[in-house]
């Protein structure tokens, strides 16, 4: 297992000085490692700390622009820090990781991503039908702009991979491919949350090897619409224990467990990490 994830339902608690003019912050991330687990775990441990370090201080004239810059700078710093650690190892670490993170600031969601892990928002229409809002962009060496950047840097794309090896064109780590144009600069998308938003789905590419986007959302919705709830067994650092949790949390956890297992049954042979975040307006 080379994936990692992080959950902060109250991200303001991580700040030494609470951000000015913000009443609520949440932070979530999924990191899909390759060539080892270290880049994914490093990103899970350090990216949010760099977001805190880079987060705009005081009132800002253009908060959206400053937060987007904060996320970009935090991704760059995390990549630099990991590559420094990797270069000190003997032999040098070759690990890399995709990343998809969601930062909720009051009722605005900022999603940043590298690679092919995805963020999707499930939104209900007035007619009761659900729709999907894509909040991430896959970064493949086969895409024109990605391929052009790689070739301009002196790299090549063979069989849809950088140098015929790396399947993504942006990542944290992957030091041996950085000189070939592999970037750590994320795409950042902004979305204002509404009363019709139901949940946010973050998942690595292992899920999408067993599901299409539409079939995944249908599968999850079918479980969440089941009003029956039971006590759920949770894994803790101390072992397994029976814990009473509320019905909504139980259904969300059940949906994560079932769709990950179903992806494997559908033919995915990769690690599968799935995170569901219930959307509640202030």
Give the dihedral sign, CA 116/213/101/185.
positive
For the entire predicted model, the pTM comes to 0.90
Would you say 190 and 104 are in contact if contact means Cβ atoms under 8 Å apart? no
Virtual torsion, Cα 41, 120, 254, 40, nearest 10 deg: -10
- pLDDT per position as a tens digit, 36-59: 999 999 999 999 999 999 999 877
Lowest-confidence pick of 185-189, 201-205, 244-248: 244-248
pLDDT band at 83 (very low <50, low <70, confident <90, very high): very high
Q: Which residue has the tokens 């729709």?
A: 131
Predicted confidence (pLDDT) at residue 234 exceeds the cutoff of 70? no
Average pLDDT value for residue range 249-272: 87
The residue among 170, 190, 192, 191 whose CA lies nearest residue 181 is 170
Query: For a pLDDT cut of 70, what percent of the chain falls above it?
Result: 92
pLDDT of residue 242: 52
DSSP string, 192-261: E--TTEEEEEEE-HHHHTT--HHHHHHHHHHHHT------EEEEETTEEEEE---HHHHHHHHHHHHHHH
Measured distance CA(135)–CA(276) in Å, rounded? 14
pLDDT of residue 233: 41
More confident residue, 281 or 8: 8
pLDDT band at 271 (very low <50, low <70, confident <90, very high): confident
Would you say 117 and 204 are in contact if contact means Cβ atoms under 8 Å apart? yes
The residue among 83, 97, 85 whose CA lies nearest residue 44 is 97
pLDDT of residue 17: 87
pLDDT of residue 60: 65
Average pLDDT value for residue range 185-213: 93
Would you say 186 and 114 are in contact if contact means Cβ atoms under 8 Å apart? yes
* Average predicted confidence (pLDDT) for the chain: 89
Would you say 263 and 206 are in contact if contact means Cβ atoms under 8 Å apart? yes
pLDDT band at 281 (very low <50, low <70, confident <90, very high): low
Predicted confidence (pLDDT) at residue 96 exceeds the cutoff of 80? yes
Average pLDDT value for residue range 86-107: 96
Lowest-confidence pick of 102-106, 227-231, 263-267: 227-231
More confident residue, 233 or 140: 140
Average pLDDT value for residue range 90-119: 96
């Amino acid at each position: 297992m080379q994936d990692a994830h992080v959950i902060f339902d109250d991200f303001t608690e991580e700040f030494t000085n609470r951000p000015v003019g913000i009443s609520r912050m949440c932070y979530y991330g999924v990191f899909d490692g390759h060539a080892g687990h270290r880049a994914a775990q490093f990103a899970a441990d350090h990216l949010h700390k760099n977001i805190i370090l880079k987060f705009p201080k005081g009132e800002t004239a253009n908060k959206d622009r400053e937060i987007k810059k904060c996320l970009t700078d935090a991704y760059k710093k995390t990549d630099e820090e990991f590559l420094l650690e990797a270069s000190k190892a003997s032999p040098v670490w070759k690990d890399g990781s995709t990343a998809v993170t969601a930062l909720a600031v009051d009722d605005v969601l900022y999603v940043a991503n590298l690679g092919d892990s995805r963020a999707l928002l499930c939104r209900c229409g007035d007619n009761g039908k659900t729709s999907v809002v894509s909040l991430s962009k896959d970064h493949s060496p086969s895409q024109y702009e990605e391929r052009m950047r790689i070739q301009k840097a002196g790299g090549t794309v063979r069989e849809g991979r950088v140098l015929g090896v790396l399947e993504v064109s942006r990542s944290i780590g992957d030091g041996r491919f950085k000189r070939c144009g592999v970037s750590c600069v994320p795409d950042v998308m902004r979305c204002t949350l509404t009363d019709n938003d139901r949940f946010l789905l973050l998942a690595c590419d292992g899920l999408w090897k067993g599901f299409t986007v539409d079939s995944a959302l249908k599968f999850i919705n079918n479980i969440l619409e089941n009003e029956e709830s039971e006590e759920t067994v949770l894994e803790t650092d101390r072992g397994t224990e029976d814990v009473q949790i509320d019905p909504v949390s139980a259904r969300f956890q059940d949906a994560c467990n079932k769709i990950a297992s179903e992806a494997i049954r559908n033919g995915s042979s990769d690690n599968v990490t799935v995170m569901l975040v219930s959307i509640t307006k202030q």
